[in-house]
A and B are shown apart, each in its own frame.
Chain A
Amino acid sequence: MSDVISRAVTPTTSPREPAASHAAATAIAASAGTGGEDVPPSAIQGSAIGDRIYSTLIWAFAVCVPILLALIAIEIFVAGWPALHQFGFKFLTSSAWDPVHGQFGAAPAIYGTLVSSVIALLLATPLAIGVSVFLSEFAPPWLRQPVAFFVDLLAAIPSVVYGLWGIFVLLPVLRLGVMPFLQQTLHLKVIPLFAGPAYGPSMLGAGLILAIMVLPYIASVSREVLIAVPRAQREAALALGATKWEMIWGAVLPFAKSGIIGGIILGLGRALGETMAVTMVIGNRAQISASLFAPGYTMASLIANEFSEASGDLHLSALMAVGFVLFVITIIVNAVARWLVWSVSRGAEGSA
């Protein structure tokens, strides 16, 4: 940067003493970042004011984000307060969601949000890491770009399209293929996780849809991180006699661990908040069931379903309270995940 500036400054300011002025200009450019030796004081003054305006603006922008977040949190909390106040802690533990009789408990929606997101991450993470390891370590160069492009393309599909695909393709496959196979062929009916009638719309369906939707986020972040692992790291492992697999497992993945976890968090954030696609395949039933084949509900679906036609102030307030709970859960999950990244990266440094 400073080199570019000095080269630009040199010929115009003092063309007669190229060598000396070059050194001086480099020094000034390096220390001040702008300007040259012959620039009048007023111009320097002007640029200092410009600097100050610039830095103030940047500060203002930076400060705006947390303020916006706080304002949103306060607004949602105030709107949800009547319901939170009336039902207290029961709002989080009760399964009754009965708008007709004014009883509201968000437990099934909280459960559904967490379970569907966990299913999504369990399914998507190995696949995404597999894809990114293949792309960064194994894929021939001509294949790398197209595959990466298609994985990224998954992120560009609107969620309502995923939902439609879910209704017309995924759910019939689950109902006619996957669910009977698990229940009858593998005799897993006895396990509560796979018990009950198989209609299609289910927690499993929601988890699968979410897995496909979060896959590109985890995969592309992981790929970038793996590509960024220094060549020396790989060469050192190979030089010590490691096989390619040992090199990836022992030298590349640990190095990229915190970045990959960051990608998983990004995916988790997407999964927690996804609304449309989940609403279309989860069955929208406010119940807590051990079976993955049973329909469920998520907080985002609940709000999307009922907000526009909410009857009465308490109902509206209860939906706002659900929004607030979702907000808090997202923050908690992110905080935990950040702590995880931090402790992992610290651990990696310690062992290195």
Chain B
Amino acid sequence: MNSKWMCASALMLVAACGSEKGSGSAGAAGTTPAASAASGADLTGAGATFPYPIYSKWFSEYATATGVKINYQSIGSGGGIRQLTEKTVDFGASDAPMGDDELAKVSAPVMHFPTVLGAVCITYNLPDVAAPLKLSGPVIAGIYQGTIKKWNAPEIRALNAGVKLPDTDILVVHRSDGSGTTYIFSDYLAAVSPDWAKAPGKGKELQWPVGIGGKGNEGVAGQIKQTPGAIGYVELAYAKQNSLPVASVKNADGQSVAPTVESVTAAAAGVAQHLAPNSDYRVSIVNAPGATAYPISSFTYLLVYTTEPDATKGKKLVDFLRWMYTTGEPEAPALDYAPLPPSLITRLTARLDSIQVGPAHS
């Protein structure tokens, strides 16, 4: 009798576990906006980690100025796109533009708004080389494909006349975690090297032909600092804040350009000249034209629904974007982010009008 009773209660418990799990996941999907309202935020967003420092500065200043609170979770670009697709956030953020297949999965049209610019720096550890190293796209591709193995290889010497390069092996370091930084880096290499475009190609994670993986910018930089002869790539902001040695890279116009906030903005300006008036801004700005353009640069985006499902929130979001382009943008260089060129800001501000703020529900 006793054991029968226990069996029954155990079964009930199983059922409870099962149903709780089911309703739990449904509840999580459905209640996120309510939860964010309860926590006092007017808008919720999620996505890229790379622009998080500037975004959080903007959101906090915007809250002080207007009282509109924006809650942003830097869970990674992939997670931001997933949450936007599931409609659990009011806006997403991504370092790489959404692909056509990803856009097709969202039940509503999505617009890409570039916010600031990112760039990837090539950093290295050559204790006896004082002058900044000069590299070109094909040489970087060769190093990362394992075809250029020594620091004094003729290809590297040709770019660095008068610099005494050591006869040591190059240790290639790359990111091991999926990241927008890897995406920009491989996007550039695919643009300048047809071999690279075939394999490994471009993506947030790659099958690297050579090298060792470090987790995060700090993992890559730490490995390079420890190992003479190492080369790797990190974000511009990270390289500047940690005073890492960075290489100049030969751009599309044949000029060697060092990564700076100005040269990255110049890359965006170079691309902006050729953008169609109805561009969706899902464009790569690697290997951009312009004598002063740094070639390994990229937009980072906020992703918003073209037709805002909630009029109140939609209006708040558009207001914020307008504030961001006028008041927020000039603050970017202080945090080592490259601001958008003025020509683009004018166009993007005008583009805000095409966001449809739908009928109010609440």
CB-CB nearest in chain B for A302: B176
Chain A residues numbered 46-64 whose CB sits less than 8 Å from any CB in chain B? 52, 55-56, 59-60, 63-64
In the complex, the answer to whether A67 meets B207 with C-beta atoms within 8 Å is: no
* Contacts A52-B2, A67-B14, A100-B203 given; does A308 touch B76 at CB 8 Å: yes
B176 and A175 within 8 A (CB)? no
Among A27-56, those with CB < 8 Å from B are: 52, 55-56
User: Within 8 Å CB of B14, what residues of A?
Assistant: 63, 67
| A122 in contact (CB, < 8 A) | no
User: Do A171 and B226 touch (CB < 8 A)?
Assistant: yes
Least distance between A63 CB and chain B CB atoms (Å)? 5
Residue contact A306 to B177, C-beta cutoff 8 Å: yes
Residues of A within 8 Å of B179, CB to CB, are: 309
Among candidates A68, A98, A284, A310, residue contacting B215 with C-beta atoms closer than 8 Å? A284
A269: which B residues are within 8 A, CB to CB?
Answer: none
Min distance, Cβ B209 to any Cβ of chain A, angstroms = 11
Contacts of B219 in A (CB 8 A): 167, 280
Q: With a 10 A CB-CB cut-off, give which of B21, B176, B202, B207 has the most chain A CB atoms.
A: B176
Contact between chains at B177 and A56 (CB < 8 Å) = no
Q: Which of B219-259 contact A (CB under 8 A)?
A: 219, 222-223, 226-227
**Residue on A nearest B199 in the bound complex, by CB:** A101
Q: Mark A3-26, 1 if CB is under 8 A from B, else 0.
A: 000000000000000000000000
Q: Which of A55, A100, A197, A305 contacts B177 (CB 8 A)?
A: A305
User: Inside 8 A of A180's CB, which chain B residues have their CB?
Assistant: none
Q: Is A162 an interface residue (CB 8 A)?
A: no
Contacts of A101 in B (CB 8 A): 199, 201, 207
Residues in A252-309 with C-beta less than 8 Å from chain B = 279-280, 283-286, 295, 301, 304-309
Query: Is B214 within 8 A of A284, CB to CB?
Result: yes
Cβ of A99 within 8 Å of any chain B Cβ, yes or no, is yes
Report if A207 contacts B (CB, 8 A).
no
Which one of A67, A98, A285, A307 contacts B200 once the chains associate, using CB atoms below 8 Å?
A98
Are A52 and B5 interface neighbours, CB within 8 A?
A: yes
Instruction: Tell whether A112 is near chain B: CB-to-CB under 8 Å.
Output: no
Residue interface bits A96-122, CB-to-B below 8 A is 1, else 0: 111111010000000000000000000
Binary contact readout A191-223 vs B (1 if CB under 8 angstroms, 0 otherwise): 000000101110000000000000000000000
Give the contact-size bracket for chain B.
35 or more
Q: Is B17's CB within 8 Å of the partner chain A?
A: yes
A167-B222 contact given A56-B6, A71-B21, A309-B177, CB 8 Å threshold: yes
B212 x A284 contact (CB < 8 A)? yes
Does B211 sit within 8 A of A, measured CB to CB? yes
A172 interfacial by beta-carbon distance below 8 Å: yes
Interfacial residues of chain A within 158-185, with CB under 8 A of chain B in the complex: 167-168, 171-172, 175
User: Contacts A199-B171, A284-B176 hold; do A309 and B78 have CB atoms under 8 A apart?
Assistant: yes
B131 sits at the interface (CB 8 A): no
Chain A residues with CB under 8 A of B177: 304-306, 308-309
Interface membership of A343, Cβ < 8 A: no
Known: A59-B10, A295-B212, A311-B204. 11 other contacts (CB 8 A): A60-B9, A67-B14, A100-B207, A171-B226, A197-B169, A279-B215, A283-B212, A304-B177, A309-B76, A309-B178, A310-B78
Give the B-binding residues of A (Cβ under 8 A): 52, 55-56, 59-60, 63-64, 67-68, 71, 96-101, 103, 167-168, 171-172, 175, 197, 199-201, 279-280, 283-286, 295, 301, 304-312, 315
Q: Can you list 21 A-B pairs, Cβ within 8 angstroms, ordered by A?
A: A55-B6, A56-B5, A60-B13, A63-B13, A99-B203, A100-B200, A100-B206, A100-B207, A168-B222, A168-B226, A197-B169, A284-B213, A301-B176, A305-B178, A305-B215, A307-B178, A309-B177, A309-B204, A310-B178, A310-B205, A312-B101
Chain B interface residues toward A at CB < 8 A: 2, 5-6, 9-10, 13-14, 17, 21, 75-79, 101, 169, 171, 176-180, 199-208, 211-215, 219, 222-223, 226-227
